[in-house]
Structure 1
Amino acid sequence: MDRRQFLKLGGFLTVSVATAGLAGCGSSNDDPLVDGLPPASGTAWSFPQSVAAGDPRPDSIVLWTRVVPAGTDPAAPAPAGNDVTVQLLVSSGDNARLLGTNAALAGMPVADQRLPLRAQYDNTVRHKLTGLQPGQTYYYQFVAGDARSNVGRFRTAPASGASVDQLRFATLTCQDWSVNHWGALEHVASEDNLDFILHLGDYVYETVGEDFQQGQVEARHDALRLPDGTPTGAGGSARYATTLADYRYLYKKYRGDRRLQAVHERFAFVAIWDDHEFSDDCWQDAQTYDASLAGGSGLRQTQRRRDASQAWFEFMPADVTFDAAQAGFDNIRIYRQFDFGALARLVMTDQRLYRADHVIPESAQVGRIGSRYLVPQDLYERAEAQKMAAGGTDPLAPVSMLGATQRAWWQQAMAEARTTWKLWGNEVSLLRMGLSGTDAIATLLALQAVPVLATSIGSTAQATAGNVPLAAAIVAASTAGASAIAAQAGAQAIAAVVAADGGSAQQVAAGVAAGLTTTQATLAATAFVGALSASGGPAASAAVAAQAIAFGFVKPDVQAKKVESSFVTASGKAAALAPYFRRFLLNCDQWDGYNAERKALMRHLKDNRIGNVVALTGDIHAFFAGTVSDDFDAAGGGTPVMVDLVTAGASSESFFTYLRDAAAGLGDLATIVSYPITIPVPDLGSVSVSVNLLDYTLGKAAPTTAALLEQIRVRLRGALAAKGVPEARLDATTQAVLDGLAGSTDFGVTLLNLAGQLSALNSNPWLRHVNTDAQGYTLVTVTPASLTARFRQVNRLAGTAAPATTIARETVVTVAAGSVAVTVG
């Protein structure tokens, strides 16, 4: 295949070799790169999406720009009839002062190359420059006639096998144009000394006007209007990108934001896609908006998949293969690897193009939420086993996320790595995120029983001459099924032993001798001693005893008997709660929904003693840190094999928000996700805030009042901003409201106790950090001794502009070399 044919069929990636001091190389009209095109002339040219660099290797880089005639709508298709050549200049001289400007690049060029500009590719230019020096900072600029682009910068990777003291990069994902703000990108652009940007997908969102895109957004992001688009079927004006023109439009609009441009200008990207570059929750060329039309498995849209892939290829500076002439949807390969000296290998995978259909198809109705969130684990496991049994020689094929070829490549890349660290650019989380519906229901019913039991103790105390401990023992025994006569006799017997300083065993024995069962006597003694020991008066004593009864008997009874428990029957919600007495997987679009293959990958690492493996993950719009086991369902949660560090979306609405809305129809069970509070605020009326309990249900450590207050700070600040509090007063007003909440019984007692009880479920003990209600990015530093990730959560939108104070908090997590553990703080 000659060069001209490659340009047409191979995706127009041109290649040249840098030669120090050789100015004007490739400038002749017979250069196969320019294909006889005339050079651009005059000043009437613009670079509306600025410049970008990608895939830094020791000797090469991919450089990108888009050039259109001046006055052209930046998001419109490039006008035909203007095919010309533009000039690329690259210099190793220090041009740092020129970043963000279109001043002429200074210094002797190491490359001066003419490149074709074609309307066929929407006037995008993609050029791979080879022959560069390792570990070197370069500056570059494109020139069209007399018009110059902004100056860009990139750093090549260290030489293979070289000793490297440090690797530093930022991780980005999920930057929805239509919600919140992009202040995080401005903050990333201001970082010093980054080697590159790791982008984990959802660079654009294919939908416009969906429900999750209806929240507040900064004024500088105008409403998107797809050139073509197709209704999503959800009603209203929501549409999804369908054609090449649609996808190109999205990249042009997103890349038109000056903050994203600034990040691209300053740092090379290493990027993969997730689902929204094509279609939400996609697999292969199937979209899931209309999954029911194809028997639940998703509607195949091969041309749409090809168009989405081509637009990604055209606009992302990535050293990948794309062949427009190849039939089918898999005419592009984006999985690839990078080595950074002897310090780290970075393996980037594609977890959409080759994945099998979801084990339980997206359109299946499971419980009351669906097949993505809160999927019954037993149902999932049966479906997975059935598909694997039908898989023939490759039982993983019907349940695979990577596909056989990519899986083998990943295993080889990991096994052959001679670097200290093996990093995995991973789209969806590897961490098990599950919960026991039985334990959650039992906990909630126990909590709901506390005020009822406290009231009963108070009423009973009127008949015991105000003796709250005695009343507590009577109520405890009755709750456990004792008759009124036995409850009273047992309580009095226990009281007598306590008065004589008898121990717990003697107390229980006395209760049994008076007619109680061992269980009843034990509960009565516990309630009596709890009430007796409590300080704060009769009401406080009754509350302490009520909690002892609720969590000493109500909760265990529900756990043991499930829907048959009398407490479930008494709640009047037995029918509604019945489907939830089982274990659930929280999100089956991620690796929990492809568990067999996850186990195969972890077994490969374990069997081959491949250590220091850390996945860097996006997708879920939350910060997580934890260990990945060889088999999460084994005793003790299995053996930790590697670490997964998950970064929140740059702007996309949080995972907590999505699950809160999805769980809203579950009644009381929704409390395991969210607890709404209304806070009176002077001069503003009141502010409503959803307190995030999902973190504690998943496994966050039990909070103190101060920690719980700090957790709601960012959401409260955003709510106050939405009420019109000026940003200059936001932090002070937020602190004043938090100070007022600290003394609230509802917050400091009821809510604190609820969060503590949910945390005690210990649903996912491998999780070391959980923050499901966040936007932000992660700053990663890798040294031979450790890998440190700084989770940087940003404040929410302030009015119609990104907040002046961007960073709300930073959480530092560390993985020490040679260990499979995460340290927080």
Structure 2
Amino acid sequence: MKSVLPSTLALSRRQLLRGAGSLAVAALAIPVAPRLAFGAVNFIDYPFQLGVASGEPWPDGFVIWTRLAPRPLEPGYGMSSDIIPVDWEVAEDRLFRKVVTKGTGLAHPELGHAVHVEVSGLLPGRPYWYRFRCGDHRSMQGRAVTAPAAGAPLSKLRFGIAGCQNYDQGLFTAFDHLAREEVDFIYHYGDYIYEGQSRPFYFSRHLEDTVASPRRADLPDPVSLDEYRRRYAKYKLDTDLQKAHAAAPWIAVWDDHEIVDNWASDFNWDNTPPDIFRLRRAAAAQAYYEHLPFRRSSLPDGARMQLFRKFAFGDLVDMHVLDTRQYRSDQPCRDGFRPACPDVDNPNLTVLGEAQEKWLFDGLTQGKARFNLLAQQVMLMPCDREPGEANVRNLDTWDPYRVARARLLKHIQGNNIRNTVVLTGDEHQNIVGNVIFDDKDPNSAVVASEFVVTSISSGGDGGEQRPAAKGMLAENPHIKLINDQRGYGICEVTPKHLTMDLKVLDQVTTPGGKLSSRAKFAVDPGKPGVQKG
């Protein structure tokens, strides 16, 4: 689908003075002439310190992003309230010998001087290179890849999966390695930032009590827009993260820590009144939009942000990106890791909300690709977290929303959708298994496959397994692997198989972590369930 706004304009001074409405940038449609800066723009420091990024790959283009921030960690980030023109160009080669499109975007102070350009008119299924210029300063260059034409025969698709990058708990070494992988895109499942300082884990006695902190963000827990902006800036100053953004387009969605731990809809764990919590959500949503390469269709409206969407990659993959936070009912049974209570069978509880659920069901039914991917945040598979009679559940997963989960699985099974693969994060572990129809019957039919991909840094160095892992595997025979190392996933899809390579690091609390492949699994498009790859 093409943007409704043109994206390749060569603008004169007079055209710029007419306003920002004609530019394909994520900017507010307001009169701009009184505050539009012309001539030489003098920055107190290099303005592109937060790097560049691309995202939202479509067959004819993608979004390219940057943000002007000469002093990113200071209030006001070293910028005036002027609207700043930023030039951009896209080329077919990394040396920019053949520039195929270029234009000017406007960096609005209302959006933290971020620029989102929706580039269109490109060829499908090929790489491009892009960069920005403002005044005498040029940004680093990035690589983006257009999606193959929808329905076109495709021999292979290769992409990365990453998320949960707690700045306080580890280095972003995994992003350095991921940037060197030759991938078509990177799916980021959420927890791009962590809103709080590192604290002891409180969920379960089987988790470690503390995590060594190799570095500190040294920022207050964010509540205001300015505080969230500084939190993102701290993360985006990391050069390994910048490399991963510059290497490939991202498809991103939030989880909880972009706002606050374990939030759901208007509910916060500390019982903040919903109308007050929505103010914090609005600040967090704007900062999230300002720092990721989203299309204008995701520009927040107060606390609301459109994040569920679909991407098609040839005839191989239909990717449904889900938002399991914004429309969810509050967690029943007091949240945390504890035995389930009767409320888990409440038919009124929802994870996706009515509109998103209908959108997903329609998309799954109508899809014709070899694989349907559900790219989401919290684990869909049922999982008893402790051996014995206790039946402890993580109540911030699909587990306490049993009726909503059953409705999804019934739709998949009832429509004979045998190629569903769920991509998940949140757990800070690699967990691989089969999504079974009845969580009370271990011999129940397999409906889908699920890959829970471990964290970039959250949880620190970790190890092969947590103390409870062996008991969890015995208690949950549909789960095939539990691993507690940091890293990312590489997914490769062909007409015959989807394979997942789980890459892990031996350490993240000190530099130089070595990368290895922990395990490989495969999924057949005609038969749900994971197999050793």
TM-score by length of 2: 0.89
Q: 1: distance between equivalents of 2:136 and 2:330?
A: 52
CA-CA distance at 1:222 after TM superposition: 4.3
Q: 1: distance between equivalents of 2:516 and 2:62?
A: 35
Is 1:786 aligned to residue 494 of structure 2?
no
Q: 1: distance between equivalents of 2:263 and 2:395?
A: 13
Secondary structure of the structure 1 residue equivalent to 2:410? helix
The one-letter code matched in structure 2 to 1:627 is: N
Q: 2: distance between equivalents of 1:109 and 1:28?
A: 22
Q: Give per-residue Cα distances to partners, 1:116-147, cap 9 Å, x unaligned.
A: 12222211111111222111211111000121
CA-CA distance at 1:809 after TM superposition: 4.4
Q: 2: distance between equivalents of 1:306 and 1:81?
A: 21
Check whether the contact 1:420–1:612 (CA below 8 A) recurs between aligned residues: yes
CA-CA distance at 1:164 after TM superposition: 0.6
Secondary structure of the structure 2 residue equivalent to 1:287? coil
Choose the corresponding residue for 1:241, options 200, 219, 222. Answer: 222
Is 1:109 aligned to residue 99 of structure 2?
yes
2:48 matched to which residue of 1?
47
Check whether the contact 2:183–2:248 (CA below 8 A) recurs between aligned residues: yes
Secondary structure of the structure 1 residue equivalent to 2:400? helix
Classify 1:300/1:135 alpha carbon distance in 2 versus 1 (closer, same or farther; 3 Å).
same
2:205 matched to which residue of 1?
none
Check whether the contact 1:179–1:214 (CA below 8 A) recurs between aligned residues: no
CA-CA distance at 1:286 after TM superposition: 2.0
CA-CA distance at 1:214 after TM superposition: 6.3
Check whether the contact 1:274–1:352 (CA below 8 A) recurs between aligned residues: yes
2:29 matched to which residue of 1?
none
2:435 matched to which residue of 1?
628
Q: Give per-residue Cα distances to partners, 1:706-747, cap 9 Å, x unaligned.
A: xxxxxxxxxxxxxxxxxxxxxxxxxxxxxxxxxxxxxxxxxx
**Structure 2 matches for 1:390-789, cutoff 5 A?**
396=348, 399-434=349-384, 440=388, 582-634=389-441, 636-653=442-459, 692-699=466-473, 762-771=474-483, 773-789=484-500
Is 1:311 aligned to residue 284 of structure 2?
no
**Structure 2 matches for 1:263-302, cutoff 5 A?**
263-288=244-269, 290-291=270-271, 301-302=277-278
CA-CA distance at 1:189 after TM superposition: 1.0
2:344 matched to which residue of 1?
384
Deviates more, 1:689-698 or 1:342-351: 689-698
Check whether the contact 2:386–2:472 (CA below 8 A) recurs between aligned residues: no
Q: 1: distance between equivalents of 2:471 and 2:172?
A: 30
Q: Give per-residue Cα distances to partners, 1:360-385, cap 9 Å, x unaligned.
A: 133xxxxxxxxx2132x4xx2x2234
2:213 matched to which residue of 1?
217
Secondary structure of the structure 2 residue equivalent to 1:215? coil
Check whether the contact 2:169–2:198 (CA below 8 A) recurs between aligned residues: no
- Structure 1 portions without partners, runs of 5+: 1-12, 19-23, 96-104, 227-239, 363-371, 389-395, 441-581, 658-688, 700-761
2:26 matched to which residue of 1?
none
Is 1:334 aligned to residue 307 of structure 2?
yes
Is 1:203 aligned to residue 192 of structure 2?
yes
Check whether the contact 1:75–1:253 (CA below 8 A) recurs between aligned residues: no
Check whether the contact 2:153–2:314 (CA below 8 A) recurs between aligned residues: yes
Check whether the contact 2:7–2:117 (CA below 8 A) recurs between aligned residues: no
1:759 matched to which residue of 2?
none
Secondary structure of the structure 2 residue equivalent to 1:262? helix
CA-CA distance at 1:769 after TM superposition: 1.4
The one-letter code matched in structure 2 to 1:779 is: I
1:194 matched to which residue of 2?
183
CA-CA distance at 1:770 after TM superposition: 1.6
1:64 matched to which residue of 2?
65
Q: 1: distance between equivalents of 2:280 and 2:517?
A: 40
Is 1:353 aligned to residue 326 of structure 2?
yes
Q: Give per-residue Cα distances to partners, 1:91-126, cap 9 Å, x unaligned.
A: 11x21xxxxxxxxx6223222211112222211111
CA-CA distance at 1:167 after TM superposition: 0.6
Bigger strand fraction: 2
Q: Give per-residue Cα distances to partners, 1:493-515, cap 9 Å, x unaligned.
A: xxxxxxxxxxxxxxxxxxxxxxx
Q: Give per-residue Cα distances to partners, 1:612-670, cap 9 Å, x unaligned.
A: 11011100111011111122224x4421110000101110007x97xxxxxxxxxxxxx
TM-score by length of 1: 0.59
Classify 1:110/1:603 alpha carbon distance in 2 versus 1 (closer, same or farther; 3 Å).
same
Choose the corresponding residue for 1:160, options 150, 166, 173. Answer: 150
Q: 2: distance between equivalents of 1:75 and 1:334?
A: 29
Q: Give per-residue Cα distances to partners, 1:508-542, cap 9 Å, x unaligned.
A: xxxxxxxxxxxxxxxxxxxxxxxxxxxxxxxxxxx
CA-CA distance at 1:242 after TM superposition: 0.9
Classify 1:299/1:823 alpha carbon distance in 2 versus 1 (closer, same or farther; 3 Å).
farther
Classify 1:320/1:600 alpha carbon distance in 2 versus 1 (closer, same or farther; 3 Å).
farther
Classify 1:61/1:40 alpha carbon distance in 2 versus 1 (closer, same or farther; 3 Å).
farther
Classify 1:627/1:353 alpha carbon distance in 2 versus 1 (closer, same or farther; 3 Å).
same
Classify 1:417/1:406 alpha carbon distance in 2 versus 1 (closer, same or farther; 3 Å).
same
1:667 matched to which residue of 2?
none
Q: Give per-residue Cα distances to partners, 1:557-592, cap 9 Å, x unaligned.
A: xxxxxxxxxxxxxxxxxxxxxxxxx34133111011
- Structure 2 portions without partners, runs of 5+: 24-31, 202-208
Choose the corresponding residue for 2:514, options 784, 793, 806. Answer: 806
Percent pairwise identity: 28
Q: 2: distance between equivalents of 1:255 and 1:217?
A: 18
Classify 1:608/1:131 alpha carbon distance in 2 versus 1 (closer, same or farther; 3 Å).
same
Answer with 1 or 2: which has the greater Rg: 1
The one-letter code matched in structure 2 to 1:66 is: R
Q: 2: distance between equivalents of 1:116 and 1:40?
A: 14
CA-CA distance at 1:27 after TM superposition: 3.5
Q: 1: distance between equivalents of 2:330 and 2:160?
A: 32
The one-letter code matched in structure 2 to 1:767 is: I
CA-CA distance at 1:425 after TM superposition: 0.6
Q: 2: distance between equivalents of 1:50 and 1:434?
A: 42
Classify 1:690/1:774 alpha carbon distance in 2 versus 1 (closer, same or farther; 3 Å).
closer
Deviates more, 1:254-263 or 1:42-51: 42-51
Q: Give per-residue Cα distances to partners, 1:222-275, cap 9 Å, x unaligned.
A: 43213xxxxxxxxxxxxx321111111111110110110011111100010000
Q: 2: distance between equivalents of 1:405 and 1:428?
A: 19
The one-letter code matched in structure 2 to 1:54 is: G
Check whether the contact 1:345–1:417 (CA below 8 A) recurs between aligned residues: yes
Bigger helix fraction: 1
CA-CA distance at 1:322 after TM superposition: 4.5
1:77 matched to which residue of 2?
76
Classify 1:203/1:412 alpha carbon distance in 2 versus 1 (closer, same or farther; 3 Å).
same
Q: 1: distance between equivalents of 2:317 and 2:523?
A: 14
Deviates more, 1:585-594 or 1:144-153: 585-594
Check whether the contact 1:321–1:333 (CA below 8 A) recurs between aligned residues: yes
Secondary structure of the structure 2 residue equivalent to 1:434? coil
Secondary structure of the structure 1 residue equivalent to 2:489? strand
The one-letter code matched in structure 2 to 1:824 is: K
